[in-house]
Amino acid sequence: MKLLTVLLATVTLCAGSAVPLVPGDNSHYVEGVSRYIWMPNGESEPKLVDLQAPADQIELFNTRNGANNEYWLYTRNNPTSRQVLVHGNINTVHSSNYRANRPTKVIVHGWNSNGNSEMNPLITSAFLAVQDVNVIVLDWNRLANSLYSTAVRGVPDVGNHLGNFLIWLFNNAGGNWNQLHLVGFSLGAHIVGNAGRTVGGRAMRITGLDPAGPQWGGNSNALNRNSGIYVESIHTDGGLLGIFDPISDADFYPNGGRNPQPGCLISTCSHSRAPQLFAASIRFNHFIGRQCANLNEAQLNNCGGNQLRMGNADLGKRGAGFFGLRTGNNWPF
């Protein structure tokens, strides 16, 4: 029996250390065991990540001061041409199209991405199509394009600096916490969680798009219910690239919340589906979740309780619990 235990442990170790061969396929992945996982970059291309690679302390030292964060403003007056707002330089705000009486939407990308990555114009254009708003895209590309383990450890500081920027912006140029909506994908979901707590939980709404899972289980810096007045998450690759457990006031599990999502064959596609679903929900507000009695019902997509719409741009949205729904396999899903 002792020999069998040793052999099983050895097999598990080898399986956990094996390099997966099919790009984007994370069917091998066991949380807390596997060393390698595929993650999408900003263009949804799979990149292999070594979860045991040590964080680059020099890179963390160089980026943790927040000086590399950039805040790009888009409005209906400049829907595709960014205006850079500089923290501490009020002239960059006064000379921009920022208006304090508009709602403000903040969008934050994930790992191996930047402010131009496909999710940002997709969600920005959706917001501007339905509302006259300020859209601020946080570009944190330098840290985001470092090792995954380095980026994970830098997330709280990026979020804190985002929160402090918003405090400065609202104090000096005007703004309304009751009209603030923070949206983050993957690691970006945890960034907006930290930003929300930095501003004292005053953001009216926070949306996490498949919040990153690897290295976030039990992590106190993750997005949680204390991050804003109303916090929601949309889970599309739970248990692999995304967290599956509920972490928000309302947690949505489209198509069971796991890979494969309709139209996807691999995990990286399912993970990237969350921002696509959210952008579609802003434009059409057509996803109706039904409350589930428990997480198992959500995973089985066998929910028949009260209705709550998934996503959309409604700042007054409220709800709590698990919600399941079905979507299509291509835009607008």
> Which residue in the list 146, 181, 271, 272 is annotated as catalytic?
271
> Which residue in the list 56, 139, 157, 210 is annotated as catalytic?
210
At residue 1, what is the residue type? M
The CA–CA distances, whole Å, from 259 to 163, 190, 239, 262, 310 equal 32, 21, 9, 9, 18
Let me know if 210 is a catalytic residue.
yes
> Which residue in the list 44, 113, 186, 272 is annotated as catalytic?
186
* DSSP character at residue 255: G
Tell me which long-range contacts 82-89 makes (C-beta under 8 A, separation of at least 24).
Answer: 82/115, 82/137, 85/136, 85/165, 85/169, 87/161, 87/164, 87/165, 87/168, 88/168
Let me know if 81 is a catalytic residue.
no
Phi first, then psi: what are they for 303, rounded to 5°? -120, 135
209: its two tokens? 């798009």
At residue 227, what is the residue type? S
CA 290 to CA 257: how far, in whole Å?
14
Asked, as a colleague might, if the bond just before 246 is cis with ω within 30 of 0, I would say no
Let me know if 271 is a catalytic residue.
yes
Active site residues: 186, 210, 271
